[in-house]
Every structure is written in C-alpha cells, then in structure tokens.
Structure 1
Amino acid sequence: MTFAPLVAVPLAAGLSAGLVIALRPLLVRYALARPNARSSHSVPTPQGGGIAVIVAAIAATGLLVAGQADDLAVIEVVVLGLAATALAIVGAVDDIRPLPASLRLVLQGLVVAGLVAAVGGRLLPAIPLPLERGLAILAGLWFVNLTNFMDGVDWMTVAEMVPLCAALALLGLAGGLDPLPVLVAASLLGALLGFAPFNRPVARLFLGDVGSLPIGLAVAWLLYRLALDGGLASAILLPLYYLADATITLVRRAARGERVWEAHRSHYYQRATVNGLSVMGVVTRVFVLNLGLAALAGLTLLWPSWPVTLSALALGAGAVAWVLRGFSHPRPKMG
C-alpha cells in the first residue's frame, strides 16, 4: 500500500493553515458574518475559511495522485475536484450575497448529477439504473445540504469530518479501501486539521458555505465509493450523527409547517447550547461519538458478517440516540 496518504495529511494541513493566514485579512474586509437572530456567534466574524480547506485538499490530492490508480479512476477524482470547485464558487457567492434557495438547489443538483454520472458500479442492481442514479443524486444533494446545515457552531464540521476522514485513511492503509478515495480522505483530513486552530471556540474564522458545500460533496463521494466497495454498513455508521440530527430536524420542522429551506436554530446541537451546554461541550461529545462510530464502522469492514454488522448498526444507532436525547434536555443548574 502506498504511503501517499501519510504525506497528504501534513502537506494539506500546512497548505490550509498557510492559506488561512494569507486570506484572513481579505476575509475580514469582504466576508464578515454579522450576528443575527439565528446565529450562534455574538460578534462579527470573518467567514470563507473553506477556501483554504478546499484548495489545500485539491492541491495535495493533485500533487500525490500520480500512480495511485488507473486512468479512469484518476478521471473520476478530477471530476470530483471540478465539482467541488463549482460548489465552492456557489458557496462563495452565497456567503457574500445570498442566493435564492431554488437557484442554490438547482446548481447543487447539476453538480451532484455530474459527479454521480462519473462514478461507475452498481449499489442497487435489483432496480433500473436510471432509478438508482436518481436516488444517488437525491442522497448526494441531501448530504451536501445537511453538511451545510450542521456547520452552525465552532468546530462542528471538524468534530464530524476529522474522525470520518481519519477512519477512511486508516482503513485504507490497512488495505481495506481503494487507494484514490483514501488519498482524498487523507487530503481532506489534513486540510481540516490546518483550518481547525482558527475555528476553535471562540472562532476567529468560519468555514462558510464556500467550505461546507464542497466538503459535503467530497464526503458524500467518499461514502458512496465505500458503499460500492461493499462497505454499506460503514458508510451509514460514519456519518450517522449528522444524518440523524439533520434528517430528524427536517422532518420535525416539515411536520410543524415551517419553511424548511430557511435558516433556524432547532438542530439538536443548537438546542444543546440553548439548554446550557457550552459549544466546546457539544463538539466534544460529537467528536467522541464519531470516534465510536468510526470504530464500529471499522469492525464491519474488518470482520464482515451479519452478526457483527447488525450489532454495530444497533450500537451506533443507540449511541446517536443517547447523544441526541442529551442535547434535547436542559442542563441541570449547579448550586
């Protein structure tokens, strides 16, 4: 197994941190996020740190991709890079001058559809290929948006995506995954680590839609590739907290007749801060939960059997439910 992923992590981390330092003065001037009724921050804070994350991840992958796989696989990663860049542009525009929800959704759908078309293989061979591709586009579109929805407090995306990408990189080094997705995961891991010090509560820089949208796309692609390679259970376990919080919240809001496309503060992690838990307390719990989910996902790949898979899924679902329940209840007042 090549050691390119081990090189990708520090390379992307250094590039990301350097770009943040270089770009921050411009972001302070042109991309300042001012607090509003739905914000989790109380002072104006620059956003757009995702530019550094995405550029660093793409650059590290591009520099190390040679010799990792066949030409068709490399073309797929090139399409991923172009798709991530397109979503980053959409996000950058939306960060500076918000776009209509309908236009955002159409543009995201086109980008996701282009990426799905570039991915070969079948996940659901029992259904017609056009239906499978349509379901994949819907799933990808939802994951892109839920990643954006969940990026609502400092370090939340770091707490979710760092364990996920680290798990994929480690499993790849153990020989359990294809080289190219492993390289992409390692590059994204490094880029997020380089960004993390600047987003630590209380954040000096936000990721912004320019980062959350393409990160969601890249991780959706990684999980789709993992599922296609026989790791469907692990592809469910790794993002299970994000999937549960975002999906349950969407269903609850829709049932109440709310405009689900509008910004809000009713996600479980947001309710936790209202209920008295600090931002650091929230993201620490999410990070630890995701370490556990990553371990369970690894078990399903290393020991693939129905008893192990079902047990891992049940334990993962129970752990997520326990955290969500804790987030939804007020903290007891001390003294």
Structure 2
Amino acid sequence: MSILITIILLIALFLIELAYFRIAMRFKIIDQPNARSSHSNVTLRGGGIIFSIAGVLFFTQSEFQFPYFVLGLFLISVISFLDDILTLNNKVRLTIHLISVLLIFYQWNLYVLPWYWLIAAGVFVIGTINAYNFMDGINGITGGYSLITIGSLFYINTNVVEFTSNDLIIIIGLSLLVFNFFNFRKKAKCFAGDVGSVSIAFILVFLIGQLIVTAQNMSYIFLLLIYGLDTGITVFFRLIRKENIFEAHRTHFYQFLANEKRISHPLVSFLYMIVQLGVNFALIFLLDSNFYYAFGLSFGILMLFVFLRFKLEGRQKLLGL
C-alpha cells in the first residue's frame, strides 16, 4: 500500500467516523453509565464500528481476499451493533457469534484437523472476544491495547514470517488511530460499544490465528497475554467469592486502578499498553518465539500480577473473607 493510498484511507476513515457521530447523535445512540461503567457522563456509543468498516474497505480494494473472515466480521459486527441499540435476545446474539466463529475456522482451513484442535480454537476465539468485551471499560484501553497488538503483528508479518496481507494490518491500524483520536483522552468523544470491542477482537483473533497456523507456533497466543490475565484472574476471584460472573461488575484490575486508586483512564490504558509491548518485545526478540520460554515468561508475569493484586487490593477484597 503506497503512502498516498494510506493517507487517503486515513482521511476517509476519519470522515466516516465523523459521519457516524452525526448519525449517533441524531438517533441518540449513547452510553448511559451503569454498574459496570467507569465513567459518569453520557457519551456516544458505537464509535468502534470504524473497525468493521475498515475490514470491509480492505475486502473491496484487495480483490475480495479472505471472504469467509469478512463475512463473519460483518455478521458479528451487525449483531453487536443491534445489541448496542436494542439489547437483543442472547440466543440470537450467540447464534450469530457461533456462525462467525465457524466461518473464521473455514477461512483458516481448520476442518482438516482433528476435532480437539477445533475445540481449542473455539475456546481461543470465544474467550478472546469475551475478554475484549469485559476489558472495554475505560477510555483508551481497547484502542490503545489493540494498537500495540496490530503494530506487533505488522512487524512480525514484515520481518519474521509473512502470514497475512500487510494491507489488512495497515487499514485496521489506521482505523485504530482514528478511534484513539476520539477515545484516548480524559473525556472521550465516543466509546467503542459492543460493536467495537467484539469486531476488533474478531479481527485480532483472525490475524493471530493466521500467524499461529502459518508459523506452527502457539507462542503467539501471548500477544494478548495481559488482557487474558486480567480477565481470567478476575473471573477466578469472582468464582471464589461466589458471585455471578455474568452480571455487570467493576472488579477488573484496570477498573480498580481507575475507580478506586483514581488513576486517570489514559494513564491506566498506557500502562497496559506498555506491559503488553514489553511482553511482545521479549516474545519476538529475546525468546525467539519459543513456546516453552514464552510460557515460562507468562507464568512469571501471572505470579507477579496476582501478587500485585493482593498487595494493592487486599486479601479480603479479592477473596471476600
């Protein structure tokens, strides 16, 4: 992709986002603070629709590459956007999610593998999408964290192993830059909404899955380590406290930092970005993408993360004693 085309696409995505804001204001597509929220002001919802629009733009200008992935992205984005504004029946939403996951499996050509690999892939895809949805709670965290991931994937695709189209990575990166311009600030102009968190998770899952399949290396799953740790450990502690893990809450570590420690949203988001960037740097340059080394590093970070939570949040808060 030439520099000129890149600039044109960036401007186009910026204008599309502004056009969406007008539509959102006209039809009152807004985010009302609730029990899970870390904000107190009414804000436009669904700004993350720009991610799926970027995916469709790539599809039209790339001679229709990855059709099953793009179809899955379109379906999961539409149902998530409708859920943002209408609150759909869970069975309908989950059915479309399942269809989208099956489409991404077909794009990866996974159906030639044994059944247990399909189960493992399903856990990875569905777990990541849900983790992204859970973690989308403060300004900048979804856009900033995803920008680190997409930047790392661009480096890997360019310098380590070519696993996908660079144009796809670039246009998704441009959409993240546009979204971050409006979201990565103390008072956000818009929130991603379910359409944003779900669609960017679906895109990143597809790219990381392509990388794992091409490189035959599971260590690249750790490109999403920090989100995975915060989500997994939070669910673990909620189960210990016998809480309903499907109810809205504000007990993620990033929420504790933003809400109880009163650290600004952009700073908390930046901390998550920096830690994941450090993990990615070690994975690519120091560990040579070796799974066992990467697993050892991840286990060490897990222990450190648990220790930090006990140190800052306290045993009583985490365990409900």
Q: TM-score interval w.r.t. the shorter chain? A: 0.7 to 0.9
Taking structure 2 as the reference length, the TM-score comes to: 0.86
- Which of residues 132, 136, 157 is equivalent to 1:151? 136
1:110 positional shift: 2.0
In the TM superposition, 1:3-14 aligns within 5 A as 4=1, 10-14=7-11
- The reply to whether residue 199 of structure 1 matches residue 165 of structure 2 is no
User: Measured at CA, do residues 7 and 245 of structure 1 come closer, stay the same or move farther in structure 2, by a change above 3 Å?
Assistant: farther
- Which of residues 178, 200, 204 is equivalent to 1:219? 204
What code does the residue aligned with 1:17 have? F
8 Å contact kept, 2:47–2:192: yes
Structure 1 spans left out of the alignment, 5+ residues: 67-73
Aligned-residue sequence identity (percent) comes to: 24
User: Measured at CA, do residues 41 and 282 of structure 1 come closer, stay the same or move farther in structure 2, by a change above 3 Å?
Assistant: same
SS of 2:215 mapped into structure 1: coil
What code does the residue aligned with 2:15 have? G
1:130 corresponds in structure 2 to: 115
Taking structure 1 as the reference length, the TM-score comes to: 0.83
2:274 corresponds in structure 1 to: 288
What code does the residue aligned with 1:151 have? D
In the TM superposition, 1:97-116 aligns within 5 A as 97-116=86-105
- Which of residues 243, 251, 264 is equivalent to 1:278? 264
Counterparts of 1:8 and 1:297 in 2: how far apart (Å)?
A: 32
What code does the residue aligned with 1:227 have? I
- Which of residues 122, 125, 139 is equivalent to 1:140? 125
Q: Which moved more, 1:201-210 or 1:136-145?
A: 136-145
1:109-144 deviation digits (Å, cap 9, x = unpaired)? 22112221231258xx9xx61222133123211111
- Which of residues 276, 299, 315 is equivalent to 2:285? 299
In the TM superposition, 1:254-265 aligns within 5 A as 254-265=239-250
Q: How many residues align?
A: 310
SS of 1:238 mapped into structure 2: helix
What code does the residue aligned with 1:16 have? L
- Which of residues 292, 303, 318 is equivalent to 2:300? 318
8 Å contact kept, 2:49–2:195: yes
User: Measured at CA, do residues 318 and 14 of structure 1 come closer, stay the same or move farther in structure 2, by a change above 3 Å?
Assistant: farther
8 Å contact kept, 2:139–2:191: yes
Counterparts of 2:244 and 2:92 in 1: how far apart (Å)?
A: 16
1:18 positional shift: 1.4
2:319 corresponds in structure 1 to: none
Counterparts of 1:232 and 1:175 in 2: how far apart (Å)?
A: 12
User: Measured at CA, do residues 304 and 144 of structure 1 come closer, stay the same or move farther in structure 2, by a change above 3 Å?
Assistant: closer
1:261 positional shift: 2.1
Structure 2 spans left out of the alignment, 5+ residues: 315-321
1:69 corresponds in structure 2 to: none
What code does the residue aligned with 2:89 have? P
8 Å contact kept, 2:59–2:67: no
8 Å contact kept, 1:296–1:316: no
8 Å contact kept, 1:83–1:111: yes
User: Measured at CA, do residues 11 and 80 of structure 1 come closer, stay the same or move farther in structure 2, by a change above 3 Å?
Assistant: farther
What code does the residue aligned with 1:318 have? G
8 Å contact kept, 1:9–1:189: no
1:35 positional shift: 1.3
Alignment RMSD, CA only?
A: 2.7
1:92-119 deviation digits (Å, cap 9, x = unpaired)? 1111111233432232122112221231
- The reply to whether residue 62 of structure 1 matches residue 49 of structure 2 is no
What code does the residue aligned with 1:44 have? V
1:147 positional shift: 1.0
1:186 positional shift: 2.2
In the TM superposition, 1:79-90 aligns within 5 A as 79-90=68-79
8 Å contact kept, 1:299–1:312: no
User: Measured at CA, do residues 330 and 163 of structure 1 come closer, stay the same or move farther in structure 2, by a change above 3 Å?
Assistant: same
2:49 corresponds in structure 1 to: 51
